């Protein structure tokens, strides 16, 4: 199903000025067919996301809710507090997935955070545990010290930064790649001549081409939009790229646009 290949990012830009837009955008995303909702304690929108879930006609068991533990709540006891706060804000008995938002390697707390998440999963508060923005060395340390790899790693990924090496590590260890900012800086992407050429070839938009590229590579993109028409277009694209298309898009590699998890500190 298409809803298993594309998630909905609830941190829509318009919500920063009007928080209720987080609710209306999430509700319209559910109506459009999205079933994976991506939020985080740091987004300060979990109350509104929970309201949308409650108001939606979609059964709760059909919705997958992901939250994230921010840097200020890293550590064994702090992580448990973070999840409880998210559950209260979302008004949910459990979340389907919880991720460590950033590794913050200089803080040396992400392994203790991971141990707490394993316990919370075993207690039924979390269905699936994973991470966000982790590099292979961070992932390997979790496995070495706890015996368990994350099920998910949500990372920056788009045609300008394809994460080929990290995706290969994920595939080797059974980790699902998810992509935040899957369209990069969207204005740049829709103007890219290679993407425009591929889009024209298939009579689709550059955005549809980028999302199809993600799906081809086994990544679950999590685009965010408060526009119902754009939400539907992002979810229901039909283009299938051929080998030449993929090779040309892979050739756009430029490197990371956003923060480097090896050094970034976000609380």
The residues annotated as belonging to the active site are 43
Sequence-separated (6 or more) residues with CB below 8 Å from residue 51: 23, 91
Q: What is the DSSP letter of 49?
A: H
The token pair at 132 is 């966000």
Please choose, from the candidates 166, 191, 181, 175, the residue with its C-alpha nearest in 3D space to the C-alpha of residue 252: 191
Annotated binding site for substrate: 101
Closest CA relative to residue 267, chosen from 71, 31, 27: 71
Q: Tell whether the torsion through CA atoms of 177, 254, 196 and 13 is positive or negative.
A: positive
Q: Who's near 249: CB < 8 A, 6+ residues apart?
A: 159, 194, 195, 198, 209, 210, 213, 241
The residue written with tokens 């913050």 in the block is: 104
Q: Within 10 Å of residue 145's Cβ, how many Cβ atoms? A: 12
């Amino acid at each position: 199903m298409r809803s298993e290949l594309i998630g909905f990012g609830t941190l829509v830009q318009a919500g920063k000025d009007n928080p209720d837009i987080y609710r209306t955008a999430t509700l319209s995303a559910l109506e459009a067919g999205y079933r994976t909702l991506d939020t985080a304690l740091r987004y300060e929108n979990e109350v509104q996301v929970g309201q949308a879930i409650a108001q939606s006609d979609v059964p709760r068991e059909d919705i997958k809710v992901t939250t994230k533990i921010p840097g200020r709540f890293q550590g064994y006891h702090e992580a448990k507090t973070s999840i409880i706060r998210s559950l209260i804000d979302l008004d949910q008995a459990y979340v389907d997935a919880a991720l460590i938002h950033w590794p913050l390697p200089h803080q040396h707390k992400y392994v203790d955070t991971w141990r707490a998440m394993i316990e919370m999963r075993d207690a039924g508060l979390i269905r699936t545990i994973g991470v966000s923005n982790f590099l292979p060395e961070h992932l390997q340390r979790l496995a070495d010290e706890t015996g368990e790899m994350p099920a998910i790693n949500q990372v920056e990924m788009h045609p300008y930064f394809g994460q080929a090496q990290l995706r290969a590590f994920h595939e080797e260890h059974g980790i699902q790649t998810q992509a935040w900012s899957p369209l990069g800086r969207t204005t740049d992407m829709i103007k890219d001549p290679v993407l425009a050429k591929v889009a024209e070839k298939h009579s689709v938009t550059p955005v549809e081409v980028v999302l199809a590229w993600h799906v081809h590579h086994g990544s679950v993109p999590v685009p965010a939009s408060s526009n119902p028409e754009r939400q539907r277009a992002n979810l229901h694209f039909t283009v299938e790229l051929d080998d030449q298309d993929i090779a040309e898009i892979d050739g756009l590699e430029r490197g990371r646009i956003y923060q480097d998890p090896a050094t970034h500190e976000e609380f």
